[in-house]
Chains A and B, each alone.
Chain A
Amino acid sequence: MAVKVVDATGLRCPQPILKVTIAMPEMQAGDILEATADCASFEEDIRKWCERMSKTLLAITRDGDKVTAQIQF
């Protein structure tokens, strides 16, 4: 099981979720993707993305403006 990190800080909606999308083909079943962004709508966007892509959103953590989402493939 691999962990891939995607840094989307400084990008505005919907760029962070598109960046997460681009990382998708490299992911294997069971891998975890950690995406961080500071866009105000990132949490809401990544929840919708996970629902649409049928992926499991393991956790959302906040550090100031930065939001990190852990997604299991």
Chain B
Amino acid sequence: MSDKNKSVSVSRSDLDALVASLEKIAGGQYAERIKTKPKDAEVARLKDVMNRAIASLEEHLGEDREATMELALGMAESFNVLAAVRSGDLSSRVSDDVLESPNEMLGLLGKSLNETIADIEKQINTIRRQQESQAAMEHLVRQLQTPILEIWDDVLALPVIGMVDSRRSQEMMETLLSEIVSNRCKFVILDITGVEIVDTRTADHFVKVMKSAELLGTRCIMTGIRPAVAQTLVELGVDLSSIRTLRNLQEGLRYCLRESESQRTKMRLSGEE
């Protein structure tokens, strides 16, 4: 009789122990091992093989779990970084745990994510710098549009060139009033030689600028009204009666000097009295 056909005897207690262990393993308890000691050598061999198979299964499942957790944590971290970036935190990056992950795909994903965020950050910084530069340029242009010159002692001149809208007139007023206060000047000449077109609103802006300056105790003179502008102002019915107007800047300065001298004389005389 060959060994292949030889019968094997298993005791009831060994069989019960084998089944009980296998049931536990089937239920997910992979740390379970068959502990019974069968008397039959063939059954003992079967038990050893089964224990090795279970140990191998446990080891592989453990490795799989570690890899799955690694992937899940890497995904969670990447998701967290994306959420932070979305809420405006451009300094957020995935950590070396992701970049150096044994999972090559995860590492590449992390690297790609970090590079993309860095690119976005770089582009935003470039746009910010451009916006700052543009704002500085606009500020400079506005300053150049409203130059205020001290053309004589106590005399400021504000030459106006081009169109005057509400924003520019507001800037003109703020700059002029600030200069009047800091220079303590007595006269302001608003020279509009460079203004070719005037509408009601522009004229209104000029009147407001001059009246505000007069509230600070300065005398205001408007010079350089072009014939076409004068015609338009009359046609529009703009009331400039409260404003002293003269032909050009030269006449305006002459008037200021004359008035200044007259004031000094009056003060001298009142001092003598």
Instruction: Please list the residues of chain A having a beta carbon within 8 angstroms of any beta carbon in chain B.
Output: 13-14, 17-18, 20-22, 24-25, 40-41, 45, 48-49, 52-53
Contacts and interface: CB of A to CB of B under 8 A. Distances in A.
A60 B56 CA distance: 32
Interface in B213-253: none
B97 to A, nearest CB: 7
Contact of B73 (A24, A25, A41, A52): A52
Given A21-B80, A24-B80, A48 B75 contact: no
Interface residues of B, number: 17
Interface stretch (B64-72, B140-148, B188-196): B64-72
Interface of B: 28, 65, 68-69, 71-73, 75-77, 79-80, 83, 86-87, 95, 97
Contacts of A18: 72, 75-76
B77 A53 contact: yes
Given A14-B72, A48-B69, A52-B77, 20 more contacts: A13-B68, A14-B71, A17-B73, A18-B75, A20-B76, A21-B75, A21-B76, A21-B80, A22-B79, A24-B76, A24-B80, A24-B83, A25-B83, A25-B87, A40-B28, A49-B73, A49-B76, A52-B76, A52-B97, A53-B76
B72 A17 contact: yes
A17 B77 CA distance: 11
A41 B69 CA distance: 10
Interface centre among A14, A17, A18, by most chain B C-beta atoms within 10 angstroms, is A14
Contacts of A45: 69
A16 B68 CA distance: 13
Contacts of A20: 76
Interface centre among B73, B77, B83, B95, by most chain A C-beta atoms within 10 angstroms, is B73
A48 B83 contact: no
